[in-house]
Structure 1
Amino acid sequence: MRRRDSHHTPGAAEPEDAIGGAGSEIDLAKAEGETLEGREAPPRGLWADAWHDLRRRPIFIISALLIVFLVVISLWPSLIATRDPLDCRLARSLDGPTAGHWFGFDTQGCDVYTRTVYGARASVAVGVCATIGVALLGSLFGGLAGFFGGVWDALLSRITDIFFGIPLILGALVFLAMITVEGIWPVVAVITLLAWPQIARISRGAVLTAKQHDYVQAARALGASNTRMLLRHILPNAVAPVIVVATIALGTYIALEATLSFLAVGLKPPTVSWGVDISIASSGMQFRNAPHILLYPAGALSVTVLAFIMLGDAVRDALDPKLR
């Protein structure tokens, strides 16, 4: 048994064993609990949680790096290709790879490497611009129809049924055959005109779902205007599926441009694009004797489309909690 010091100075702190016991242990545990609670990270929102998940997905990192590389060479192709893509000499037609000309030459004697690099500009530009147009037009019509309902919703449904009855490639062939203006903008306009119903359907469904949430009903009860409810409460919660579908569709539109150019109704020479080069390589079946003239532009097209589809799949998995 321990002796207590009888000469304790008044006002001094009590010895440790004097203040021990169950009460101090409970207080200490409570203090530690409050400290741990204070260190807990705040809950993440939908986009923060999605970004946290995407950073840990190799498929997202690989596809994002490929897309960044494609965007960079589309904007500044001279960074990795110093020659002129229109510098063609028939004397070197179908020649194989040589020093400084790593991919050889095509039927016109043009450097395949340079044309493959410069071809990214037109192909990616068509895909990006068409996706922006389709997303804006489809989100506008679909969102308004889903929010207001009634006659507007019925009208949109009938219009989209008409457009869904027109095959995309066949409709683009008909419209582009009647257009005499050359360049990327007629192709972008036709793709936007024919492809917006898909995004409209997705946007309509997302708005119908978001409109039923309690916070939207509370905002309506508090007197919020339709514009405020759409922009402040519904749009941030309905845009995720539109982004996913648009990301995947971007690769599809790049492939569609190449298909239309291959069929001689899309981009035309002297415009440099992968579809134009594939069309040139296929004419006369010259690629049988020189497969490199078809391999490189077709490979670049395939990698680009695959990168956007992989990115869309990763974003879809990150934004959809049911798929985690």
Structure 2
Amino acid sequence: MSERLATEVAEDEPSGRQASLWSDAWRELRHDKIFVIAALVVLVFVTMAAFPRLFTSADPRQCDLSRSLGRPSADHWFGFDLLGCDYYAQVIHGARASITIGIVVTISALVIAILLGSLAGYYGGILDALIARFTDIIFGLPFILGAIVILTVFETRGLPQVSFVLAVLGWTTMTRLVRSSVLSARDNDYVVAARALGAGDLRLLWRHILPNALAPVIVYATIYVGIVIAAEATLSFLGVGLQLPAISWGLMISDAQYRIAEAPHLLFFPGLLLSLTVLSFILMGDALRDALDPKLR
């Protein structure tokens, strides 16, 4: 009887604590106007990236040179680019590349971080030292500069190449967060009790430790989506990111830099949507941090 009770306590305490943490956070977030507005903006842009035809029926690649650099009007809200392509359609379709790279890179970096950070924090010792030194080496590479150097090696730079390079360089901070969280959670009473009752390492990590260690990583990952989107735009602006015929906000801003005086709309509209997207992810992350940290309430 006592053994069964101990088992139930060991299994239910972490999940109950985690459920309480997220339910309390959700109650806070529902009444946070900044979080709600930012989440709605992100939802609109993600929908735009997934289903651009919901926002425009125009073909972004159908161009007419007679309309080159046409100004915004009631019929064409964002005007036309140098080749006479409908700029509103291009801005809408440009969301797909930017947001896809942001989400794919963040998920990839999160998977790497959970794997390496869990191993380092749980086992410690030599394995922890090796992972820590490898993380330091990658962390020592400047994010943008390292991406520029690596991307110049590729002859073709599309979504897979840019996502791969940013993911390779972007997992280090998350790994440190996972490691420190796992390190602090592995000696908690419910973990010790589960280990004493014969739970294996995989079960301890998956069932007891990670659910209580991922909150700070989720917060950072939310902010990191915006960071990656800004990084992709920066690389494309510098000419080492996505290449034509891809459509992205960074490429559009890069093309607009030479025509700011005669056609400011070429810079304004993609720059506005890029800024709103990045800002929304950062505000969501800040709100999540405040909601998940009882000390900040």
| TM-score, length of structure 2 as denominator length | 0.92
Shift of 1:107: 1.7
Q: Which segments of 5 or more consecutive residues in structure 1 lack a partner in the other structure?
A: 1-41
Pair 1:259 & 2:243 matched: no
Pair 1:211 & 2:186 matched: yes
Pair 1:58 & 2:29 matched: no
Pair 1:314 & 2:260 matched: no
1:214-240 CA-partner distances (Å, limit 9, x unpaired)? 111111111111011001100100111
2:273 equivalent among 294, 300, 310: 300
Partner of 2:3: none
1:178 equivalent among 130, 153, 157: 153
CA distance in 2 between partners of 1:52 and 1:204 (Å): 28
- Contact 2:151–2:157, Cα closer than 8 Å, also in 1: no
CA distance in 2 between partners of 1:180 and 1:247 (Å): 31
Which runs of structure 1 show a deviation greater than 4 angstroms over 4 or more consecutive aligned residues? Answer: none
Within 5 Å, give how 1:106-255 maps onto structure 2. Answer: 106-255=81-230
CA distance in 2 between partners of 1:104 and 1:77 (Å): 18
Shift of 1:170: 0.6
SS at match of 1:117: helix
Q: Which segments of 5 or more consecutive residues in structure 2 lack a partner in the other structure?
A: 1-15
CA distance in 1 between partners of 2:135 and 2:29 (Å): 33
Shift of 1:99: 3.1
CA distance in 2 between partners of 1:161 and 1:171 (Å): 14
CA distance in 2 between partners of 1:215 and 1:190 (Å): 40
Give the RMSD, CA atoms, in angstroms: 1.3
SS at match of 1:314: helix
Shift of 1:288: 1.1
Partner of 1:7: none
Partner of 1:286: 259
1:105-144 CA-partner distances (Å, limit 9, x unpaired)? 1122121111111110110000000000000011110111
Identity of matched residues, %: 52
CA distance in 2 between partners of 1:86 and 1:193 (Å): 32
- Contact 1:96–1:105, Cα closer than 8 Å, also in 2: yes
1:134-163 CA-partner distances (Å, limit 9, x unpaired)? 000111101111000001110111111111
| TM-score, length of structure 1 as denominator length | 0.85
Partner of 1:31: none
CA radius of gyration, larger in: 1
Shift of 1:89: 2.0
